[in-house]
Amino acid sequence: MQNQIKNEIKRYSISGARRLSNVVWTLLLFVGSSGFLSTGFSCYFRKTLFPFSLLNTGNFVQYENIQFFPQGLIMIFYGFLGFFLSIYLGLTVLWGLGSGFNEFNKRNAYVRIFRWGFPGKNRRMNLYYSWEEILGIRVEFQQNFNAQYIIFLQIRGKKEIPLTHIGEPRTFEEIEKQASALAKFLQVTCTFGSPAL
């Protein structure tokens, strides 16, 4: 019975923003921006404000040698910029933005796409499509900041839906294997390349 259910329902988890790389970037941005802020404010007040500051170690330029305008002011600006960016990135990790799952249910003849969004009344994105609406699977190579392959679900009369997580680099062989297995399960065609214009 368990095997039959497993053969009729496929579910793929999507990690979204909850990745180790995002946690590392959040910590790096927070520590770096804190250093910039402490240096900038130390220049303004002409004294060391934070006992843990790197300015006390002797490895860096002392704040007395830095003029507040323009160097100290620019350090404060970049410090605040990095601080707020680290807070934003930390919240996306905490909220799990983009995480969810793709469920393909052959037994009840539907496809469900679920994702978590920003807090609010529309936090849950929960899409259902009937089995008959599925036209096919398409794999596209996107060459942008980080080149990657993305699997799209083609739906009759609607825009294509990306099924793989953006920002999670995978080899062509892995994507091809997953797309082919999914197309076979859905009993639709699998194409590779750009969308038809």
pLDDT mean over 10-29: 91
- Do 188 and 105 fall within a single domain? yes
- Do 103 and 188 fall within a single domain? yes
* Number of domains within the chain: 2
Residue 197 placed within a domain:
no
Confidence tier at 64 by pLDDT (50, 70, 90): low
Domain end (from 35, 70, 95)? 95
Residue 71 placed within a domain:
yes
Q: Which residue has the higher pLDDT, 80 or 60?
A: 80
Q: What is the dihedral of CA 157, 158, 164, 169, to 10 degrees?
A: 100
Q: Which domain holds residue 142?
A: 2-16+99-192
- Do 68 and 124 fall within a single domain? no
- Do 104 and 88 fall within a single domain? no
Residue 166 placed within a domain:
yes
- Do 54 and 9 fall within a single domain? no
- Do 63 and 133 fall within a single domain? no
Quote the CA–CA distance of 16 and 10 in Å, as a whole number.
19
* 96, HSE (Cβ side, Cα atoms, 13 Å): 12
CATH number at residue 120: 2.30.29
- pTM reported for the whole predicted model: 0.75
Quote the CA–CA distance of 182 and 185 in Å, as a whole number.
5
Domain end (from 95, 118, 145)? 95
Task: Evaluate if residue 196 carries a pLDDT over 50.
Answer: no
Domain end (from 31, 61, 95)? 95
- Do 134 and 172 fall within a single domain? yes
Task: Evaluate if residue 170 carries a pLDDT over 70.
Answer: yes
Instruction: Provide the terminal-to-terminal Cα distance of the chain, rounded to the nearest Å.
Output: 45
Residue 59 placed within a domain:
yes
Closest of 89, 66, 80, 70 to residue 35, by C-alpha = 80
- Do 37 and 72 fall within a single domain? yes
- Do 12 and 103 fall within a single domain? yes
Question: Tens digits of per-residue pLDDT, 102-137?
Answer: 999 999 999 999 999 999 888 999 999 999 999 999
- Do 130 and 182 fall within a single domain? yes
pLDDT mean over 64-90: 89
The β-bridge relationship of strands 134-142 and 124-130 is unpaired
- Do 107 and 161 fall within a single domain? yes
Task: Evaluate if residue 139 carries a pLDDT over 50.
Answer: yes
Mean pLDDT, rounded, of the chain: 84
Please report the pLDDT score of residue 101 as a whole number. 93
